[in-house]
Structure 1
Amino acid sequence: MARNLGCFNLPVVDVARARAFFGRLGFSFDAVFCDQNTACMRVNRQTMVVLHARSRFAGYAATPICDPGQARETVVAFSASTRQDVDVCVDGALAGGATVLREPEDLGFMYSRSFCDLDGHAWEVVWMDGSRISAG
């Protein structure tokens, strides 16, 4: 059976604020699955990130919701088409109130930058040129 990560769920303090933040970074939203407590953000044709009000997310979680500003459960990574696209996205996030998670990493064949969004969730934007990976 082929597997696909179709939906990634995150709790946010303010859905409208989170939707505006990610909208400024170029993400679109599926209106069918959006309401005042949920914003369904399209990453690509198969993958969505669903931003839930913390109270709604609590209904999905079997344990208390962690504070992403205090503990890191995951770093959500997505690809960019070019190195410049990495910079444009992360610079836009920082201009919108995000904070730097780590310093940029440049391995020649791969370039990445990371940030924490307005709710403290960690994101990494990665460009990679597989043809530049040296054998061995």
Structure 2
Amino acid sequence: MPTMIFVNLPVKDLEVSKTFFTSLGYSFNPRFSDENGACLVISDTIFAMLLTEPRFKDFTRKEVADASAVTEVILCLSAESREKVDTLVDAALAAGGSPSGEPQEYEFMYGRSFQDPDHHLWEVVWMDPAAVTG
């Protein structure tokens, strides 16, 4: 079985977050979702558990970061092309996300970023396959 990753993110309004990510073309696994959290399926091995803040607090003794004021994490997803980077980020902005930083353009890499409704930072990056295997 391949290694999987489950990123846990606190959200203020679970339904707003579900609507946002559904509009980006993602789905949710109902088996791991309820009124306190939803399992966002990003790929076969990458998932984000969107947890209401009270449920998120059940897993930590620390304060929950206010992502509108501080950066607690930057999540980066790969894309298969420059066009896919633009498509996903443009969809996020149209769905109510907000811009986060300037596009990054390098000889072998292109990326853009956005903030989701809870201000979590997401980057989407394309890298030239020749540069990666190089």
TM-score range, shorter chain: over 0.9
- 1:33 equivalenced with 2:32 (yes/no): yes
Distance in 2 between residues matched to 1:4 and 1:73, nearest whole Å: 23
Q: Name the residue aligned to 2:100.
A: 101
Q: Name the residue aligned to 2:47.
A: 48
Look up the equivalent residue of 2:31 and give its one-letter code: V
Once superposed, which parts of structure 1, at least 4 consecutive aligned residues long, lie more than 4 Å away? none
Q: Name the residue aligned to 2:17.
A: 18
Distance in 1 between residues matched to 2:131 and 2:63, nearest whole Å: 44
**When the two structures are superposed, what TM-score results if normalisation uses the length of structure 2?**
0.93
**When the two structures are superposed, what TM-score results if normalisation uses the length of structure 1?**
0.91
Runs of 5+ consecutive residues of structure 1 not aligned to the other structure: none
Q: Contact (CA 8 Å) 1:16, 1:36: kept in 2 or not?
A: no
- In the TM superposition, 1:46-125 aligns within 5 A as 46-125=45-124
More strand by share: 2
Q: Contact (CA 8 Å) 1:10, 1:50: kept in 2 or not?
A: yes
Distance in 2 between residues matched to 1:80 and 1:108, nearest whole Å: 16
Q: Contact (CA 8 Å) 2:76, 2:124: kept in 1 or not?
A: yes
Distance in 2 between residues matched to 1:56 and 1:36, nearest whole Å: 10
Number of equivalences: 133
* 1:123 CA displacement: 0.3
Distance in 2 between residues matched to 1:31 and 1:71, nearest whole Å: 31
Distance in 2 between residues matched to 1:108 and 1:36, nearest whole Å: 45
Identity of aligned residues (%): 38
Runs of 5+ consecutive residues of structure 2 not aligned to the other structure: none
Look up the equivalent residue of 2:32 and give its one-letter code: F
SS in 1 for 2:75: strand
